[in-house]
Amino acid sequence: MTTFSCMIPSLSKDYHRTKTQYHRLFECLDISKIVFVGPPELEECIKSDYDTGIYGNHKIEYLNEREILPFEEIKLALSKQLTEKNKVGTSSTGWYYQQFLKMKFSDYCDGEYYLCWDADTIPLRHISMFSEDGKPYFDVKSECQSRYFSTIQNLFGFSKVIEKSFVSEHMIFKKDFMHDMIAEIESTPFEGKTFYEKIFSAAGSENIDLGFSEFETYGTWVAMRHTSAYKLRNWKSFRNTNFFIDISELSQEDVGWLSRDYDAATFEKYQATVPELTEFFRDPRYREKLSPQQFYQAVLESNIMGNYSNGAIESDGFIFPA
């Protein structure tokens, strides 16, 4: 068994929303500690909770995100790629920023590997991040964003290398590989000196709106530069869980049922819990007759969550993956 640090980028409000479930990470993952990375106000929240004993004997640390990467520098670098036609704003700056924090955490990792885990995702059963022969897993899903691969092609000359996607709710990074990938990015002839300036320049003004994925980029780079270093594994996560149950109300019984089909559950903060769906979700008759996957598919096809077609849900003008 290989233990490693678990790095979670988080804002204070996201931390408060999810903190009652973080004990499940220690129960289900072979992690030595959780390192929360966020703004200064997050530190006091974590310290206060740690002092109350909510985390027991588990090790929790905090790292100021601004010490890793200055937010304003990312914002300035991004602004240089904007045009009159491009409406990328501060929200996209934050979206890029948390990705770059995951990459730069390689300078602060105290082990050979580190795990990046989404703050809104909870593991449902024990998950080993390494195979029996000691190789880390790439947990892959079905997703394909052409903008990501346009930037990857510009940076390295690589096209898509696997049928599925390296993008999931987590990834385990090898520290030395990340250092090497960043160094290779910084050696490219694109404008700028830092890896994030080079990435923005490689994405270009036409592709800058959500034009990069740290997971897709690292997975593709490792597949080309270190072909046999990782193993692929299909990852099954229960998306849109917050429609059915608020994360603070998630019970051990809920976890036990969902874990029959799924590895993890994600609670998107922009999704409000629907009481009618909670009734369906907790109905013992459905749990007795249907597997979690069968239940979810039946709910999707009923269109109660919104118009469902082609693997996506359209609700109130928004389209999100099912």
Q: Which tokens in the block code for residue 134? A: 């000691």
| pLDDT for res 238 | 93
Segment 143-187, tens digit of pLDDT: 778 899 999 999 999 999 999 999 999 999 999 999 999 999 999
Question: How much is the pTM?
Answer: 0.93
| Terminal-residue alpha carbon distance, the chain | 34
Adjacent-strand bridge partners of 137: 231
Q: Phi, psi (5° rounding) for residue 141?
A: -135, 180
d(CA 267, CA 55): 21
3-state secondary structure of 138: strand
Q: Phi, psi (5° rounding) for residue 285?
A: -65, -40
Residue 81 has pLDDT above 90, yes or no: no
316 vs 164, higher pLDDT: 164
Residue 317 pLDDT class (50, 70, 90 cuts): low
**Beta carbons of 140 and 165 less than 8 angstroms apart:** yes
Among 212-216, 232-236, 266-270, the range scoring the smallest mean pLDDT is: 266-270
Residue 232 has pLDDT above 80, yes or no: yes
| pLDDT for res 320 | 66
Segment 3-27, tens digit of pLDDT: 899 999 999 999 999 999 999 999 9
What is the greatest pairwise CA distance in the chain?
Answer: 61
Q: How far is CA 232 from CA 184, 216, 306, in A?
A: 24, 13, 33
Among 13-17, 87-91, 157-161, 227-231, the range scoring the smallest mean pLDDT is: 87-91
pLDDT more than 90, % of the chain: 77
d(CA 233, CA 40): 36
- 107: nearest Cα among 137, 78, 69: 69
Question: Which fold, 4-234?
Answer: Spore Coat Polysaccharide Biosynthesis Protein SpsA; Chain A (3.90.550)
Where do the structural domains in the chain lie, given as residue ranges?
4-234, 237-321
Q: Could you write out the three-class secondary structure of 177-242? A: HHHHHHHHHHCCCCCCCCHHHHHHHHHCCCCCCCCCCHHHHHHHHHHHHCCCCCEEEECCEECCHH
- 242: nearest Cα among 320, 153, 141: 320
Segment 107-117, tens digit of pLDDT: 999 999 999 99
d(CA 248, CA 90): 29
Show the DSSP H helices in 8-124 as ranges. Answer: 12-18, 23-28, 40-52, 65-68, 71-79, 90-104
Give 235: exposed, middle or buried? Use CB within 10 Å, 0-12, 13-18, 19+: buried
